[in-house]
Amino acid sequence: MERNLTLIVLFAALIVVLGLVPAIPLGFGVPITMQSLGVMLAGAVLGSWRGALAVVLVQFLVALGLPVLAGGRGGLGIFVGPTAGFLIGWLPAAFVTGLVVERVRALPVAVAAGIGSVLGGIVVMYALGIAGFWLFKNAALQPGDTPMSLWAATLIMAPFIPGDLVKAVLAGLIARTIARYRPSALIARF
């Protein structure tokens, strides 16, 4: 019980600290931060429930007004803005990543964690992020306004996907390293 709490706490701290690492500018002008790598790792190492709780704790800190997101962002504003869906989407992202590592035991850790990160950290997170943005954008349309299509909303967020694919691969490799040198630490598979 206590160990569950401390693992959740420390992975929440890891997610925050990875957001403080300077962003790596990607070739086409979109900076990538390592923060979502932390979210993927929390799921892959801690498993679905504990991984999701580590994310909840970070979201909690954001709501408390602490500058824990990449670039020193934080506060309630993040939860009501057009990109709120991405922050909220971290929760199912970590959960799904953990679920894949837990359930698909036939695959090596690196592959399972990588696939889980793509499913959770990209497919699920972007689905929520884009849906949130789309709903926000199309709220209270006036007569004569043209609603934005889901396709257009997806297109606007698409430049960030390559960076997250890189992070999914990294999450798989790091999970493999942890599983190799400290098998008992990968409690998602324990």
Give the interface with another protein as residue ranges (CB under 8 A): 1-3, 5-14, 16-18, 20-21, 24, 34, 37, 41, 45, 57, 60-61, 63-68, 71, 73-83, 133, 136-137, 139-142, 145-146, 152, 156, 170, 174, 177-178, 181-182, 185
Nearer of residues 45 and 101 to another protein, judged by Cβ: 45
At its nearest, how many Å lie between another protein and the CB of residue 9? 4
Nearer to another protein, 73 or 103 (CB): 73
User: Whole-angstrom Cα distance, residue 146 to residue 153?
Assistant: 13
Q: Which 8-state DSSP code applies to residue 187?
A: G
Q: How would DSSP label each residue in 95-154?
A: HHHHHHHHH-TTS-HHHHHHHHHIIIIIIIHHHHHHHHHHHHHTTTPPTTPPPPPHHHHH
Q: CB of 166 within 8 A of CB of 34?
A: no
Q: Closest approach of Cβ 107 to another protein, in Å?
A: 20
Least gap, CB of 94 to another protein (angstroms): 15
Work out the number of other CB atoms within 10 angstroms of the CB of residue 160.
17
Residue 95 or 133 with smaller CB distance to another protein? 133
| CA-derived radius of gyration, the chain | 17
How far apart are CB 71 and another protein at their closest, in Å? 7
